Amino acid sequence: MNYDELSAQFLYHIREANKIAAQMGINKPFSGNRLIESLTTIPLGHKISKKIAGHDAYDEEGKGVEYKSIQKGKGNGGSASYNIGFGDTWEEQENELKRSTLGHHEHFIARIDYDTYPIIDSIWKVSGEDVFSCLQPKIRRHWEARSSGEREMVLVPKVKDPRAKSNLSMKEIMEHGELVHEA
C-alpha cells in the first residue's frame, strides 16, 4: 500500500473507533489523556466517566477513581504528575490537595510503552491516603516557596499554569502501591 492508501485506512479506523467510543459513552476519546484513560479501564473492569472533569472512571463499586500515566523508560523511572489548584493560605492549599487526592477512592497509574502492544505495560493501584502523604511535603515546599517573596514573581501573566505541581515517582508508586495488571 502507498502512503495515501495507508492514510485513508488510518482515518477509517479512527472514525470507527470514535463511533465505538460514542456507543460506550466515552466523550472526546482522543483528547488529552482520554485514550489512555479509556484503555486503562479495560483490564481493570472500570467504567470511564462521561465527563472529562472530576473522576476519570468508576470502579466496580461505583467509587470514583483517578488515572495517571507515566511513560515507560529505562529501569523504574518515570513519575505521575499532579497539578493542584493554588491556595492563598496553607490551609486552603492543603484542602485543595486533600480534595484532589483523598477525593478519589484510589489512584491507578498506567505505565505506558508506546513502542509495543499492548500500549499499557502495567497498572499500579495507590490509595488516596498514600498519594496524599507522598505529595503533601512536596506541595508544602512548593507552596512555601511561592508564598514567600517568590510568589509575585511566579504568578506574573507569563506563567501559563499557576497551579502547585508535584510528582509521584515510580519508586513511591512501587513502595506504596500494588501491581494490579501486567501485560
Q: Where are the domains of the chain?
A: 1-30, 31-182
What confidence tens digit (pLDDT) does each residue in 22-44 have?
898 888 888 878 888 999 999 99
Query: Could you tell me the pLDDT band of residue 74, with boundaries at 50, 70 and 90?
Result: low
In this structure, which amino acid lies at residue 10?
F
Cβ–Cβ under 8 Å, residues 41 and 56: no
pTM of the model: 0.83
- What pLDDT sits at residue 154? 46
168's grid cell: 509521584
Is the pLDDT score of 110 beyond 60? yes
Query: Could you tell me the pLDDT band of residue 160, with boundaries at 50, 70 and 90?
Result: low
Residues 26, 51: Cα–Cα separation, whole Å: 8
Cβ–Cβ under 8 Å, residues 166 and 142: yes
- What pLDDT sits at residue 64? 92
Which CATH number among 1.10.10.10, 3.40.1190.20, 3.40.190.80, 3.40.210.10 corresponds to the domain 31-182? Answer: 3.40.210.10
